[in-house]
Structure 1
Amino acid sequence: MTLFDKVQPFLVLLSILIGLVLAQAVWFSDVASTIIVPLLGIMLYATFLPLPLQRFGRVLRNFKVTLASLLVNFLWTPLFAWGLGAVFLQGSPDLRVGLLMLMVTPCTDWYIVFTGVAGGDVALATALLPLNLILQILLLPAYLFVFAETLVELNPIDLLESMVWVLLIPLFLAIISRQFVFWWKGNIWFEQTIAKITVVQVISLNLAIVAIFASEGGTLLQRPELLFLLFVPVSLFFVTNFLLAQWVGRCLRFSYEELACFSCTTLARNSPLSLAIAVSTFPHRPLIALTLVIGPLIELPIMVFISQLLLRIRRRGQWK
């Protein structure tokens, strides 16, 4: 786990605090709203650039883990997220949409780190990444129309434009850049240099969080109970899915390494991708974006705990 991975929760919290302070300056609040989407676009470009989109062979070779993770991530989790929102956030439609967007997008970066920390199959986790990314890009609009259309107004044209500008264009540019660098400098140079891209990703994400809270932080200050409203459903999601992963792993006779990979890929969520869509699709509903920023503050400490819990299970010989 790199230094940036270790301090990311604290950087997010610091960015929120800076944004709330800057929100008191009206002129900065107005400027901040115009730079959020460009910053998130840069962040996603830096996220997509290292992704090995061609590594599907390992996924096909481990059909059990692949199929189980797809069913949990893209069938069970959307239904479960909708149910959690209906039970715990019934009077807050924007929070329900934010929770849904957070939960239906599997992580495409940190889960590999946590898989490694837990002693899991990192190669398999890496191979699952492009499949998770492509499916969530394709399915996120469908989830919104199926589960959120009765909660907020959805314009198909606006959603399509948002997907193109903040997802497809950064993804296309990242693929082109990657191939150009391979041709110009070679694979070895790329692999040695790509770690530096993490810095760009972290900086742009945290600057975007500063801008979001500078622009809309007044809403959170007026409603501090939002943190407590989200804590219960988000925590319940992780507890339930962790237990589900244990049950599925035993039923399908996963090795410990497969279990750790399966647990991390079905638990960690991709809040930056959802955040980019939320900001561009729902610019006048700031609570949706705020939910997606608050979510990782709850998620990351839980994922650290889960990775250590998995190691404890292995050390005690509780997984055969």
Structure 2
Amino acid sequence: MNLVEKLEPIIIFSAVLIGILASNINIAQHTNYLINIFLCLMIYGLFLEVNLNELKNSFRNIKFTLTSLIINFIWTPLFGYWIGSIFLNGNLDILIGFFMLIITPCTDWYLVFTKLAKGDLNLNLSILPLNLILQIILLPIYLIIFFSSKNSIDYTQIIYSILIIIIIPFITAQITKFVLITSLKERAINIISDLEIWFLSLAVFCIFSSQGKQLFENLNFLITIFLPLIIFFIVNSLVDLLISKKINFTYPEYVSLTMTTLARNSPLALAIAIISFQNHELVSIALVIGPLIELPILYIISKFCLWIKNTKLFSFHDYTI
């Protein structure tokens, strides 16, 4: 990853601060439209990077793939909703934002922590397209299953958000890759990839500049998201460790499983949340706050993985890296 990608958390946090400072200034009358445009451009860049032809590679290590899918898309939604209901039941919007963050596996910066902890980078690269496709398909289904009884889900808005934020950028990205010759395609992908973080930051800036006042009014709810997130990371990291030991994973496989089941894809969830919950800004704000907690924890967990390897506290199937 280049320097900009490594500084992604700092850039996003800066966008949050600048947006809050500008919250008393009427910057634009059509902030929601700007947010949608910036997020569509970001998702378009993401789809340009994903090589769907590599999807079959996800199934080469069947044991790893099945284990990660069960944790990410069966265990995590159930566990995430349970701990969210315990700690965030006082505010439905924060609960929905927390839940959307929890159930979307990361598709970018988890690779940094995989490499940092000496995991199997190729294994995590191979499963990336599968994680992306499944979370797009399952996210609206999970929202309907867990929250439709609370009368908090507008089905038409979810369909609309999937159309605007997912389907149109996906089709546009595939057309772009089909039309451009190889040399231009690679150059376009690299340029747009470098701009993704700036598109996301502009969207975040618009969110906080328009909702900064509400953020301060509900700061107590945002503080409460810390505890369930920390519990999620601690419990899932232990689950990953015990399962890896039980099914005889190698150390690199253990690290890859840990990172792909802990790191979350907040930009995609944020894009869907902004359109699906237009009158519930705390859903989006919870998703923006999430990475500010997540990234330091992932760094600590990467060091914890290395400590386990060096101390040989757990004897994995193979220590060769």
TM-score range normalised by the length of the shorter chain? over 0.9
Question: Is residue 260 of structure 1 aligned with residue 255 of structure 2?
Answer: yes
Detail structure 1 runs of 4+ shifted over 4 Å in the superposition: 189-193
- Return the offset for 1:191: 5.1
Question: Is residue 140 of structure 1 aligned with residue 139 of structure 2?
Answer: yes
Indicate the SS of the match to 1:283. coil
Indicate the SS of the match to 2:300. helix
* Identity score, percent: 38
RMSD over aligned CA atoms reads: 1.6
What's 1:225 paired with? Answer: 220
Q: 1:124-166, CA deviations, whole angstroms, 9 ceiling, x for partnerless residues?
A: 1111011111111111111000111233532222211110110
Using the alignment, how far apart are the partners of 2:152 and 2:86 within structure 1? 21
TM-score by length of 1: 0.94
Unaligned runs of 5+ in 1: none
Unaligned runs of 5+ in 2: 317-321
- Return the offset for 1:29: 5.6
- Return the offset for 1:80: 0.8
Question: Is residue 7 of structure 1 aligned with residue 4 of structure 2?
Answer: no
- Return the offset for 1:236: 0.8
Question: Is residue 176 of structure 1 aligned with residue 171 of structure 2?
Answer: no
Question: Is residue 240 of structure 1 aligned with residue 235 of structure 2?
Answer: yes
Residue pair 2:94, 2:222 contacting (<8 A) in 1 also: no
Question: Is residue 251 of structure 1 aligned with residue 246 of structure 2?
Answer: yes
- Opposite residue 145 of structure 1, the aligned amino acid is I
Residue pair 2:241, 2:254 contacting (<8 A) in 1 also: yes
TM-score by length of 2: 0.93
- Return the offset for 1:28: 1.7
Choose the corresponding residue for 2:182, options 180, 185, 193. 185
Q: Where does 1:1-320 land on structure 2 (aligned, <5 Å)?
A: 1-25=1-25, 27-28=26-27, 30-181=29-180, 184-186=181-183, 190=185, 194-318=189-313, 319-320=315-316
Indicate the SS of the match to 1:109. coil
Using the alignment, how far apart are the partners of 1:195 and 1:316 within structure 2? 40
- Opposite residue 23 of structure 2, the aligned amino acid is A
- Return the offset for 1:190: 4.9
Quick one: structure 1 residues 161 and 68, their matched pair in 2 at CA, closer, same or farther if it must change by over 3 Å? same
Using the alignment, how far apart are the partners of 1:52 and 1:316 within structure 2? 38
Using the alignment, how far apart are the partners of 2:310 and 2:138 within structure 1? 38
- Opposite residue 110 of structure 2, the aligned amino acid is Y
Indicate the SS of the match to 1:214. helix
- Return the offset for 1:192: 6.8
- Return the offset for 1:61: 1.7
Using the alignment, how far apart are the partners of 1:106 and 1:8 within structure 2? 17
